[in-house]
Each structure stands twice: as structure tokens, then as C-alpha cells.
Chains A and B, each alone.
Chain A
Amino acid sequence: MTTRAAIDVAELPDHAFGPRGLIWWGTVGFMVIEGSMFVIAIVVYFYLRLKVHQWPPSLPDPFIGIATANLALVLLSCIPNMLAKRAAERYDAPGARLWLAVLTVIGVVNLVLRGLEYTQLNCRWGDNAYASITWVLLSMHTIHVATDVVDSAVLLALVSLQPVTNRRFVDLSENSLYWYFIVAWWIPIYLIIFLAPRWL
């Protein structure tokens, strides 16, 4: 078949950061799905609140110390996260490695503190519906943190053992985007799990 060459793309770049690239769309797609789950779980929390007179129903409030410390740590992690993202977008492999390593360590500390947070809830999942939704909300977020810590560790190994190509820099950048998503969700979930029982 005869064809006419109308557009030549030979010189176009082999990667792009952010919404120009496919990886961003895939990541955001899953962020929307998981964000919808968080929204629905939060709606369930308040729906269940409407069904009883007292909140928490015949259970003590959760302790807030460790959770608040963890919140501070998570918010602080935005700084190395930002530096990691910037390094990736500057194609600065040593910088990206460094800040990704810092992030991974923070993630591990985060998970240890998270383990302790479960002991501060002052309830077990089967006590009543309040306890059930509290445990599930916390666990939904914990799964995200754990997944991202493993993900970051694997990515760190990858960029330490293999040449860092342009596409890998895109992966590094979008990994940081996902961490922002996890941090952003921790704020409302922290408020709901640890402070809402005092306010409602």
C-alpha cells in the first residue's frame, strides 16, 4: 500500500515526566481507585456513627501519642520525598539514590510506629462496629505504607545495581508522587481514627 509520510517522530524523546507520560496515568488511575476506597471507608465510619448514641460505643478513646509522632514523621518525609522527586527529574542518579534511601528508612520507622499504633487503639476489631471500621481504616493505610516501602526498596536496589536510564528516572519520580498520595491520606485518616472519637 502506498502511504504518505505526514509526521516524523524519530526525534521525539523516549520518556516524559508527569501527566505527559503513561506511567503517571497508570499511577493516578490506581490512586483514584484507592482514594475512592478511602472515601467510602470514611463514609462508612460516619454512617456507623449515626447508628449509635455514644462514640466510641462503650469503649475508651484511643491514645494519640505515638500516632501523632508518626504523623509528624510522615509530614517531615515530604522533604526527602520532594528532594528525591527533584533529583529524578534532574537526572541526578546519586541524589535520587540518596533520598530514596532516606525515604525507605523513614518508611521502615513509620511501619514500626504503625505497629505500635495498633496497641493504642484501645479496642479489638471484633468489639463492635466502631472497632471494626477503626481497624480496617488503619489497616487500609498500613497496607499502602508497607507496599510503598517494599516498592521503594526494590527501586533502590534496581537503581543501585543497574544503569539508571531515562525511564527509570520517570519511575523514581512517579514513586514519589505515590508517596505524596499516601501522606495526604494519612492526615484525614489520622484525624478520624484518633481525634474524631474525642470530638463526636
Chain B
Amino acid sequence: MTDEALHRQLADTWYNPAGLVGRLSIVDHKVIARRYIVTAFTFFSIAGVLAALMRLQLAFPDNHFLTADQYNQFFTVHGTAMMFLFAVPVMEAMGVYLVPIMIGTRAIAFPRLNAYSYYVYLFGGVMLFTALFVNSGPDVGWFSYVPLAGPDFGPGKRPDFWAQLITFTEVAGLAVAVELAATILKTRAPGMTVSRIPLFVWAMLVMAFMVIFAMPSVVLSSTFLLLDRLVGTQFYNPAEGGDALLWQHLFWFFGHPEVYIIFVPALGMVSSIIATFTGRPIFGYPAMVSSLVATGFIGFGLWVHHMFATGLPQLGLTYFTAASMIISIPSGVQIFCWIVSLWRGQPRYATPLLFVLGFVAIFVLGGLTGVTLASTPFDLQVHDTYYVVAHFHYVLLGGAVFPLIGGVYFWFPKMTGRMLDERLGKWNFWIFFIGFNTTFFPQHLLGLHGMPRRVYTYPASSGWGTLNLISTAGAMLLAMGGLLLLFNVLRSVRRGAVAPADPWGGEGLEWTVPSPPPAYNFLHVPVVEGRSGNWDRRGNEAPPVVTGIKADCREVLITTVTAAEADHKTIYPDPSIWPFLCSVVTSAFFIGSIFTPWALPVAIPPLAITLIGWFWPKRSDRSTQCDLANNRLEPLRGEA
């Protein structure tokens, strides 16, 4: 078959349906990931506007631009949305888009589950912001401590919207984690042994495992909270044998790994970008991989450092201080490997690399304040002050958002087939970098001067006015940076320079496929011969490929876990509307259960129907026909 004929056949097999129902049925990982990314950035923008409004409120002492109640809702929804609706989903979405084209496969594992997860996530986000707009936004902080969030002190439905938002996002997050882990472990192109997996993909694998082990804790804790509030269980009620600190343990057992769930994928992006823009593979691959894995493990041993002020036994706190300091070692190893890579290579200072360099500077500062906070006596002094706010914005914005925006500039051409404007990109970086530091650096000082977080105003006599004004000015600059990015994206989607398959001279396999990639990703599934999929092919007139994968079926090659040897083939499902319908029922159930426990029995029949519709093979589906055709080759055993 000629390449042209193969392309036509594959495009027909892996088609993405059109029309409204068709679009809601699409299971292509790239389309779903693009929707995830656009949705996540939309939520990011709304949460960013809330932040800007809070900064305006705090610009002057004794200000009454916002009421205390509005302020409470804004900071809660800001934090909740940034963590649950932006940071985790956007990182997972980058993995959903990039992992299959980095490891040489035609699709993500469990594509219908992937589509389902997106809709559940979308509906969860819409619910949270709708609640805010009708003045029912949660107002007890993004970690929703009891007893403030419990039935006695949190009247109305505000904390319930928070608790159910957690359910929405965790269902979506867990589904994607399983898909990514299965995809990475079982569908890598032949030859991509574990010691050849790209660092970005390693990061995604570590993140997926962290999600799988961390998120169950917050699913349970938020369910307990909802049950306490809805049907009168007593989990967090000390008067009936419950315990308020139980909430903090369960929340932070998830909440601290959560920070690394956000941060680890960003590390993968940094490695991809540095390798490409220095023109050589990252120094110290084994050390880099070990550091990622070590971070994944140590991240689970730190949660109590969020609880130093709760009166837990001293000996226990000492352990958590030590663990909190130990985790800076794998981060340090990676930073040094990147510095060596930059040192030995010839860096090209394009926008993605600028964002990465900004990340290194900011993250090192955030890491240093992290080491100070790991010390219990110091932590007690600055607990709940702006010092902590400054610290976690340095590590989260610096550690995750800077690499992410670098990643957007880096992979935008791959995803859209258009280049982002470089000149605007450089402006974007400098405005963002200066705006960020102007906003958050003064907050360290405010914290040391004793300004508590989560107060909607402060008296002029406190002397905090000037630093707050500077911080607000920085926030406006940061917002301008965000708008510039939005402008650049909107303009480039339509009028940007057309991107070739490999605009940057990139390292990985993703640069061997067209920009944007066709629905089936790879015309010929590659055979991998080294760590740098694209660079390894240089000078090779005829790169090695796999043959014998059917083009008229959604057939995917399954390989072994460590050696990535071809093992067998499997058939992926066709597009289907059922995952969308199932997500609608799921969402109705989650929202209904905020108001009545009867939502559960009412939801079971439609949930069962949509799930059966999802799994029941349709005769018209190509996957059903291919499955039957495979079996016709040899008569059905046992039936004969």
C-alpha cells in the first residue's frame, strides 16, 4: 500500500465524527485534550479575575471595594479552582495530548473513559462557578477545614458545593491517571524500553501513580464531610466520638502529594524544553528518573507539615521536618542536571526556554522559603501569614505555571499547526516575570510583618499599605501578561506562521508527526532505537517501522512493560455518545446529592442504562466488526 492510500485508509478508520452528536461522541485523545486545555485555561482566567479583584480590595487599608463575604467566597473559589479545575486537569491534559505521540502509539488507552472524564470535569467546574454567581460559592478556604465547614458552622449549601466539586474533579482525575499509566506501561512503540522513556513521559507516569494513591483520601474525606452535613453522620464531630483533626490528616495526605502531582509534570516539560533548546539530551538521565520517582515517594511523607500548628506530638513533627527537608534533595538533583545541560549545550533563548529559566529562578526562591517553613519553630511564627501565601505562589506559579506556559509556546505549533508570535512571547515572558515577582515578593515581607492571610481588609495603622499597593500593581502587570498570552493565542490560531512538523529541532517522537497530527497519529508506528526519538532518526534515510497493524481496524500494538517488545494487538472502541450521556447522569447525581440522599437511588437506573449502552457492542461499530472478523479466521472455540 502506498503512503497516500495508507493515509486515506487510516483517516477513514480513525475518523472523528461531525455534527453536534458526533462532536460529543469523539474519543480522539488529541481532541479531548485540547478541550481539556482550553477549559482549564478558561477556569484559570476566571479564577485569575477573582484574584485581581481581591488584590484591588487589598490595595488600600480600610477598603470596602468587596464585602467580607464576597472576599471569603472569592479566595475560596480562587484556590479551589486553581488547584482542582486548573492545575491538575491541565497537567493531565498535556499528558493526554502528548504521551501517545511521544511513545509512538495511535491513541490513549480507554478512549471512551477519557471522553467521559472530560465531561465530568467540565460539569463540575460549571457547577462551582454557577454556585459562586448565585452567591452560594464556598467560603471556608480551599481546604475547607471542619468545624468551620461542618454542619454547625457552615450553614446553607456553600461547603457542599465545594465537597461535590472535589468528587467531580477526582473522578475525572483518577480516570485519566489510569488511562495514562496503562498507555505508558503497555502501548509504547517497540524498542522504547524503560531506559528510553522520555523524561516527560516518566514524569506523567509518576504523576499518574501519585494521583492513584493520593486522591482516594480526599474522595473519602469530602464524602465524609458531605455525609456529616447531609445525613448527620458524626465523623468530624468531637461530641460524638468524631475528630476535627481527622479532616486535616485525610485532606493533607492528599493535599501534599497534590502539590507534586502538579509540579512533577512541569518538571517533565522543563526537561523537554531544555533538551530541545540546547540541542542535546538532558544530562544525567538515570539521576533525573530516580529523582522523579523519589519525589513521588517522599511526597507522601510530608503531609503533617501543614499541621505544625495543631498541637501534635513534638517527636512526630520532627520526623515531618526531616522529610520535608529531604524532598529538596531530588529537586536539587534535577536543578543541577538542568544547569549542567544548559552549561554544556548551546542554549537558544526562544520563548519556551525563557519561561523555563524564569521557572528555575522563581522555583529556587520558593524552594528556599519551603526549607525555612519545614522548620517547626519558624513555621509557627509565620503560620497563616502572607509569608506562606508568597511561598506557595512561588512554588506553584513558579514551579508549574511558568513551565506550563513555556510548554504552551513549545507545543502550540504541534497542537494547532501554527506558531505563536515570538516577539509577543518575549514581551509576554518579561511582563509575566516582573509582574509575578512584584506581586508575590512583597508578600514575604508582609507575612514577616505579621499580616495574616484571608483577611478582607486591614487598618492603616498596621503599616502594610505600601507593600500591599506594590503587590496589587504587580498583580495588574501579571494580568496584562495573561491577556497578552490570550491575544497571542487567539491571533496565532488564525494568522500565525504555519508550523512544520518539527519547528524547533525537537528531541522527541512527537516532532516526527505532522503539525497538527492526524487522528491516527503515526502513519507507520515507529521502532525506537534510542532515547531521542526524533534526533535518533537524523541521517537515517529509512527509519525502522512496524508493519502488520491493520489500517481498516482501530488496531493498536500492545508491548511488554519493561522491554517494550511487540506482544499482541488489540482493538480500540469507536466514537460513542454514551460516555457523554453517562457523564450527564453522573453530574446530575453529584449535584442532586448536595440536596438529598435520594439522589442515589434515583440515579442508579439511568446510570446503569448509560453504562450498559457504553459497553454493549454495536453491530455497526467498526470495532465489533473487526473483533468478529478476527475470530472468523479460526472458528469460535468451544462453540464448535
Q: Is B548 an interface residue (CB 8 A)?
A: yes
B residues 167-191 near A (Cβ < 8 Å) are 174, 177-178, 181-182, 185-187, 190
Q: Is B219 an interface residue (CB 8 A)?
A: yes
User: What residues on A are CB-neighbors of B566 within 8 Å?
Assistant: 7, 9, 12
Decide if A129 touches B243 in the complex (CB within 8 Å): yes
Convert B530-545 into 0s and 1s, putting 1 for each residue whose CB lies closer than 8 angstroms to a CB of A.
0000000000011111
Decide if A40 touches B527 in the complex (CB within 8 Å): no
Max chain A C-beta neighbours (<10 A), residue from B557, B560, B638? B638
Max chain A C-beta neighbours (<10 A), residue from B174, B242, B560, B628? B242
Q: Which of B185, B541, B549 contacts A2 (CB 8 A)?
A: B541
Given contacts A95-B638, A154-B612, A165-B630, contact A40 B182 (CB under 8 A): no
Residues of chain A at interface, number, CB under 8 A:
63
B residues 214-271 near A (Cβ < 8 Å) are 215-217, 219-220, 224, 227-228, 231-235, 237-238, 240-243, 246, 249-250, 253
Give Cα distance in the complex from A52 to B638, angstroms.
59
Return 7 A-B CB contacts under 8 Å, by A number.
Answer: A1-B543, A9-B557, A9-B569, A12-B567, A90-B638, A92-B638, A127-B234
Decide if A12 touches B216 in the complex (CB within 8 Å): no
Q: Which of A6, A14, A19 contacts B545 (CB 8 A)?
A: A6
Decide if A29 touches B182 in the complex (CB within 8 Å): yes
Given contacts A15-B570, A136-B233, A164-B639, contact A37 B220 (CB under 8 A): yes
Task: Give B463 Cβ to nearest chain A Cβ, in Å.
Answer: 44
Decide if B546 touches A6 in the complex (CB within 8 Å): yes
Q: Is B547 an interface residue (CB 8 A)?
A: yes
Q: Is B568 an interface residue (CB 8 A)?
A: yes
Residues of chain B at interface, number, CB under 8 A:
72
Q: Is A21 an interface residue (CB 8 A)?
A: yes
User: What residues on A are CB-neighbors of B636 within 8 Å?
Assistant: 91, 93, 163-165
User: What residues on B are CB-neighbors of A132 within 8 Å?
Assistant: 224, 227-228, 233-235, 242
Q: Which of A6, A40, A47 contacts B220 (CB 8 A)?
A: A40
Q: Which of chain B's residues has its CB closest to A166's CB?
A: B631
User: What residues on B are CB-neighbors of A32 within 8 Å?
Assistant: 212-213
User: What residues on A are CB-neighbors of B560 within 8 Å?
Assistant: 20
Decide if B617 touches A22 in the complex (CB within 8 Å): no
Task: Give A21 Cβ to nearest chain B Cβ, in Å.
Answer: 7
The interface of chain B, by Cβ under 8 A from chain A, is: 3, 109-110, 174, 177-178, 181-182, 185-187, 190, 212-213, 215-217, 219-220, 224, 227-228, 231-235, 237-238, 240-243, 246, 249-250, 253, 523-524, 527, 541-549, 557-558, 560-561, 566-571, 608, 612, 615-617, 627-628, 630-631, 636-639
Task: Give A96 Cβ to nearest chain B Cβ, in Å.
Answer: 8
Given contacts A3-B543, A158-B616, contact A33 B212 (CB under 8 A): yes
User: What residues on B are CB-neighbors of A167 within 8 Å?
Assistant: 570-571, 627
Decide if A165 touches B628 in the complex (CB within 8 Å): yes
Q: Which of chain A's residues has its CB closest to B241's CB?
A: A129
Task: Give A57 Cβ to nearest chain B Cβ, in Å.
Answer: 5
Convert A149-167 into 0s and 1s, putting 1 for each residue whose CB lies closer than 8 angstroms to a CB of B.
0100010001000111111
User: What residues on A are CB-neighbors of B639 within 8 Å?
Assistant: 93, 163-164
Give Cα distance in the complex from A20 to B568, angstroms.
8
Give Cα distance in the complex from A8 to B178, angstroms.
29
Decide if B568 touches A16 in the complex (CB within 8 Å): yes
Given contacts A15-B568, A20-B558, contact A25 B544 (CB under 8 A): no
User: What residues on A are CB-neighbors of B547 within 8 Å?
Assistant: 5, 7-10
Give Cα distance in the complex from A126 to B242, angstroms.
11
Decide if B542 touches A126 in the complex (CB within 8 Å): no
Given contacts A16-B568, A136-B227, contact A129 B242 (CB under 8 A): yes
Q: Is A76 an interface residue (CB 8 A)?
A: no
Q: Which of chain B's residues has its CB closest to A131's CB?
A: B234
Q: Which of A3, A44, A57 contacts B542 (CB 8 A)?
A: A3
Give Cα distance in the complex from A29 to B173, angstroms.
13
User: What residues on B are CB-neighbors of A36 within 8 Å?
Assistant: 212-213, 216-217
Q: Which of A2, A16, A47, A136 contacts B567 (CB 8 A)?
A: A16
Decide if B178 touches A29 in the complex (CB within 8 Å): yes
Given contacts A14-B570, A128-B240, A132-B233, contact A3 B545 (CB under 8 A): yes
User: What residues on B are CB-neighbors of A14 within 8 Å?
Assistant: 568-571, 627, 630
Give Cα distance in the complex from A64 to B631, angstroms.
50
Give Cα distance in the complex from A71 to B25, angstroms.
43
